[in-house]
Amino acid sequence: MDQKTILKQMIDFNKTAFDNTLSAMMIVQGQTEKMFTTMIEQNPWLPEEGKKAMQDWANNCKKGYEDFKKMVDENFAKVEVFFNE
């Protein structure tokens, strides 16, 4: 096999591993977010400002995750274009 084929297979393997790991993390994050939201809604002692701040924090974490995944996917696409030329 030539080096280009080997490198392409390595990139494909890394992309698959990354996608699977991120998918598992997304499942865990989704469950944690549900539990977190339930906890916030059921606590009468937590003021509305605190609830809003915690919900904003959770939304920012989710947005950061989505931005990271988008960036990585774009860069994997660039590498795939390079190897397909």
Three-state SS for 74? Answer: helix
The Cα angle at residue 65 between residues 27 and 18, in degrees rounded to 5 = 70
In this prediction, residue 27 carries a pLDDT of 93
pTM of the model: 0.76
Give start and end residues of each alpha helix (H) in the chain: 3-42, 48-84
**Nearest 5 degrees, angle CA 39-CA 37-CA 40?**
40
Amino acid at 76: F
pLDDT tens digits for 28-79?
Answer: 988 988 998 898 888 888 888 988 888 898 889 889 989 999 999 999 999 8
pLDDT at residue number 72? 94
